[in-house]
Homo-oligomer: A and B are copies of this chain.
Amino acid sequence: MSEYTITFIKNEQPKEKPDSDHLPFGKFFTDHMFIQDYSEEKGWHNPRIVPYQPLVIDPAAMIFHYGQTIFEGLKAYRTAEGNVQLFRPDKNMERLNRSNRRMCIPEVDEEFAIDAIKHLLHIDQEWVPSAPGTSLYIRPFIIATEPFLGVRPSKNYQFIVILSPVGAYYESGINPVKIAVENNYVRAVKGGTGEAKTAGNYASSLIAQEVADKEGYAQVLWLDGLEKKYIEEVGSMNVFFKVNGKVITPALNGSILEGVTRNSVIQMLKHWDIPVEERKISMEELYDHYINGELEEAFGSGTAAVISPIGELAWNNEHMIINDGKTGAISSKLYQTLTGIQYGTVKDPFNWVVKVK
């Protein structure tokens, strides 16, 4: 039996599947999960697919104290023909290992990880919903499990993949949202962990999100942690602005997460001969464009929502209403095209789609 042989223990008590017309995000989980262990002696070993079940972890496990963990998020889509397919899983696994390196977690074999995900999807294939806009969200994550209270990298880890059938991320569909520019709290700074998909970045963001929520905003727009001047991300998405026919997005600077959807948006816009600039953008510059009538569209990009148009941006006392608060043409075309490729209804010019046999 090779280190790559996945053991399978079937769930003999499968759950009832939730109503696929009213699926919340990330609340229901399928019948099985993937687990693999790491130890210094054996490296990554004992890959297995087992019934979805609670983890049994020592209370001194380092994940609970020092947050050494990373995760990924991608989706499996049901095509009209009934097949199941993935969107650029190689990009997610590349990033998973980049996150691992930053967080001192041993790297995984990216190809094997994709195979393991496909294997798990094959077993739980009936859980991939088929209602419009639904998908099966895939959450790979790694946690430090050594029971030890000293501050150093753990010697033991678990790599786990769980699956969750989901509806649209925003219940109201692709509708522009109101976003507040965050002036007090900071998500990440160069030299920190902003580039890594790690728990601490999200923990840090909760308080700003809570304040924004109370004031009626869907998300916050994060500014750079140094000067609180340059635009970084929106909530847990990357952000784009259409200005005078050009699309501008903050350049990857060490504190911005490199989104797979961000990368796909940039490639798609170039494919359409729409100029894209990756560079620093200050709120002042954006506001000037807005005042001059040059800010045509704004949207976030991410795996969960794909494209999330921004209808209003609140900055200090200014309320910038973008494109009359409506979804713009480019936002809409990107959404239709990317989701079309994901669900197999639109031609895939980049070979982004990976079929699950």
Q: Which residues of A contact B (CB under 8 A)?
A: 25-27, 29, 33, 52-60, 63-69, 71, 102-104, 137, 139, 141, 143, 147-153, 160, 162, 164, 184-193, 198-207, 209-210, 213, 225-226, 228, 235-236
Contact = CB atoms under 8 A, between A and B. Distances in A.
B191 A184 contact: yes
B57 A57 contact: yes
B67 A199 contact: yes
B66 A206 contact: yes
A141 B69 CA distance: 17
14 contacts: A27-B150, A29-B59, A54-B58, A55-B56, A55-B57, A63-B63, A67-B198, A103-B206, A152-B213, A186-B190, A188-B192, A192-B192, A192-B204, A226-B226
Contacts of A201: 200
A59 B55 contact: yes
A121 B66 CA distance: 24
- Counting from the closest, the 3 A-B pairs by CB-CB distance are A200-B200, A26-B149, A67-B199
Given A189-B189, A189-B225, A191-B184, A65 B202 contact: yes
A33, A188, A191, A202 pick with most chain B CB within 10 angstroms: A191
A54 B67 CA distance: 18
B200 A199 contact: yes
A260 B228 CA distance: 31
Given A29-B147, A204-B200, A71 B65 contact: yes
A187 B225 CA distance: 13
